[in-house]
Each structure stands twice: as structure tokens, then as C-alpha cells.
């Protein structure tokens, strides 16, 4: 997604939720919340403290939070409630950056499913680095990593894409005219990639008719006589190719990104052109696009590169 049109919400997402922590516990603003279950309100942030039973849907004001507890005011009193029992009265709309998991709780230990890139969720609560989300009707609930959400939807470009660079034209200085691997394997890979710009994205890719990110790399590098794996995870973790740091990237390197909140660091791959640009099959744009690696979403989620060809 474009750095020109989208502000990534990490701490900023919590500002949008009006639950930004100042120091360790003070909130920038108080917000209206309600209890999502019958629970106890404690005199201090300790389950052994004195407490009173409070009914579901009781409206209170969240004043601060820390360590899984929310400090609330209600009926002229101050009390403490576990954050998991507090929902915003007015949910905040947010957008999924790229495919991300939805979890049962804020530990991320059990997956309930996945949210597709570009889809809408509604944030009702926060617990550490996770936010509690619901669908529009409120019938489905779960937790997502705050870093996987954006506070504003990416502005679509004139061609309808939502790519990071918003451009389907490779800069003249980065174009390849090498139409055979006999000339240069790197240049031939890029020649194939640039001529596939606009090709449709498909999760069940069938190259060269359509592509996902991994099959796009597999096809282009493969046509240039490189033997690479067929999934983004396997491509990123294939140590038969040299791992490359961001500052050492060269034209023709494969670039690897951590775009899904899970245990591995390679969920998306593309082909680096140089000059801060790469080509990839984007699930958000629904096609093969040119994107910027110099700033924005892909700079932030970059993990490493792989040197497929030495020369």
C-alpha cells in the first residue's frame, strides 16, 4: 500500500482508537466503552482486590490501561477491569494491509481464520500489541496484530490498482531489452517480469495465465534457467541462494517480505529492478504491479533478499 495515501497504524492505530499510552498508563483521551460480559470491577488492578459485580453492556469511561487492565470511571467511581471485557461503544473502522490471521485471543496461540488484504474490520478494543476486531454485523469476533491494520484505505490509482508505487510503467533506466537468457539471465528475468505487468492475480495461480507472488517469481526466474521453490516461504528460506541485506540489493535479486502476522518472515516475494523498485504479483492490486521498496509498506515489511544470479 502507498506511503503517499496510507499511514501505517502501529502506535498511530492506538491513537485512532483513542487509547494511546503516554508513559505506561495515562491515555491521551478518555473513551466511551461498555462491558462485553458480566464481570467484576476491582478497586485496583488485582483480582484479589475488593470488587463488585457489573452487568454486561454497562457503559463506562476508559481512562487508562496497562498490563491487560483498564482503569475506568463509572457512576462517580474509579475501578479496574480486564481489557478483554471492554469494547468501544463506537467501533473504529480499519483496513487489512495484506493477508493476516485472526486469533481467538491476544496471545496469538489459536488461529480462527484469515482476513484478506484490503478487507474491512471494526476495532472495538486493545490488548497489548493486539486489537480486538469484529465484522460489520458484529457476529464474528477475534484478535489481530495492530501492525497488520491501516487506519485509512489505500487510494486506488487511475488504473484501479492499490499497489505501493501506483505505476505500471517501468522507468526507462530500469527497463530490459534482453529477450533471451543467452544474453543475460538477470536481464531476461526482468524482461519477462516487466512484460507481465498487469497480468491477473490468482490465489490458485496458473502461469502464465495468472500469478500469485511465488508463482510469478518461479515463472520468471525459471524461464531464465534458475531452479527456485514454488512457495513464498520456501523461496525466502532457500539457503542455496545467498541472503542479501537491504543495502546490498542488486538488480535481479529476489526480495522477501514479512506481510502476515505469523512465525515466519517470508510471506511475499518479488523481483528487484534496482533504483528502489520491484515487480510482484499483488493480492491487493489483483494483478502484477511495479512497487517502491524505497519507502512505505514494503520498506517496512522487507525481510531480506536472495541472490538468484551472480552476474
pLDDT digits 0-9 by tens, 114-154: 887 677 889 888 877 788 898 888 888 899 887 777 654 44
Question: Is 221 among the domain residues?
Answer: yes
Share of the chain above pLDDT 70, in %: 83
Its sign, for the CA torsion 299, 305, 308, 310, is positive
Residues 148 and 219 occupy one common structural domain: no
Backbone phi, then psi, for 271, in 5-degree steps? -115, 120
Flag whether 160 is in a domain: no
Instruction: Compute and round to an integer the Cα radius of gyration of the chain.
Output: 23
182-183-189 Cα angle (round to 5): 85
Cβ neighbours around 160 below 10 Å, total: 9
Statement: the pTM of the whole predicted model exceeds 0.75: no
Q: Which domain holds residue 93?
A: 1-155
Q: How confident is the model at residue 308 (pLDDT cuts 50, 70, 90)?
A: very high
| For range 296-308, the mean pLDDT | 93
Same domain, 7 and 120: yes
Cell of 36: 462485553
Question: Could you give the CA distance from residue 157 to residue 139 in angstroms, rounded to a whole number?
Answer: 33
CATH for 101: 2.30.30.40
Work out the pLDDT band at 106, boundaries 50, 70, 90.
confident
Confidence label for 301 from pLDDT (cuts 50, 70 and 90): very high
**Same structural domain for residues 230 and 151?**
no
Q: Are residues 107 and 180 in the same domain?
A: no
Among 13-22, 98-107, 169-178, 264-273, which stretch is predicted with the lowest mean pLDDT?
13-22
Residue 72 lies in a domain: yes
Domains of the chain: total: 2
The answer to whether residues 66 and 132 belong to one domain is yes
Q: Are residues 141 and 12 in the same domain?
A: yes
> In whole angstroms, what is the distance from residue 88 CA to residue 13 CA?
14
| Whether 117 and 201 share a structural domain | no
Amino acid at each position: 500500500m502507498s506511503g503517499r495515501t496510507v499511514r501505517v497504524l502501529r502506535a498511530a492505530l492506538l491513537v485512532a482508537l483513542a487509547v494511546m499510552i503516554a508513559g505506561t498508563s495515562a491515555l491521551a483521551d478518555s473513551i466511551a466503552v461498555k462491558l462485553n460480559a458480566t464481570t467484576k470491577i476491582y478497586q485496583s488492578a488485582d483480582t484479589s482486590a475488593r470488587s463488585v459485580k457489573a452487568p454486561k453492556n454497562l457503559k463506562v469511561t476508559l481512562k487508562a490501561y496497562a498490563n491487560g487492565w483498564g482503569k475506568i470511571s463509572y457512576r462517580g467511581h474509579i475501578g479496574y477491569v480486564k481489557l478483554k471485557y471492554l469494547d468501544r461503544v463506537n467501533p473504529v473502522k480499519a483496513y487489512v494491509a495484506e493477508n493476516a490471521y485472526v486469533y481467538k485471543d491476544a496471545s496469538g496461540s489459536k488461529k480462527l481464520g484469515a482476513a484478506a488484504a484490503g478487507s474491512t474490520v471494526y476495532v472495538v478494543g486493545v490488548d497489548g500489541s493486539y486489537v480486538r476486531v469484529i465484522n460489520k454485523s458484529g457476529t464474528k469476533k477475534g484478535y489481530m496484530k495492530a501492525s497488520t491494520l491501516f487506519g485509512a484505505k489505500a487510494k486506488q490509482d487511475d488504473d484501479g490498482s492499490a499497489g505501493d508505487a501506483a505505476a505500471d510503467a517501468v522507468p526507462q533506466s530500469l527497463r530490459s531489452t534482453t529477450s533471451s537468457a543467452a544474453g543475460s539471465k538477470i536481464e531476461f528475468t526482468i524482461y519477462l517480469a516487466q512484460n507481465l505487468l498487469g497480468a491477473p492475480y490468482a490465489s490458485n495461480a496458473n502461469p502464465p495465465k495468472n500469478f500469485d507472488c511465488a508463482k510469478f517469481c518461479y515463472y520468471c526466474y525459471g524461464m531464465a534457467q534458475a531452479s527456485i521453490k514454488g512457495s513464498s516461504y520456501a523461496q525466502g528460506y532457500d539457503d542455496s541462494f545467498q541472503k542479501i541485506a537491504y543495502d546490498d540489493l542488486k538488480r535481479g535479486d529476489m526480495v522477501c517480505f514479512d506481510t502476515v502476522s505469523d512465525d515466519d518472515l517470508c510471506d511475499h516475494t518479488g523481483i528487484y529492478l534496482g533504483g528502489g523498485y520491484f515487480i510482484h504479483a499483488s493480492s491487493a492490486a489483483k494483478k502484477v504491479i511495479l512497487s517502491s521498496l524505497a519507502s512505505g509498506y514494503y520498506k517496512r515489511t522487507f525481510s531480506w533478499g536472495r541472490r538468484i544470479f551472480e552476474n
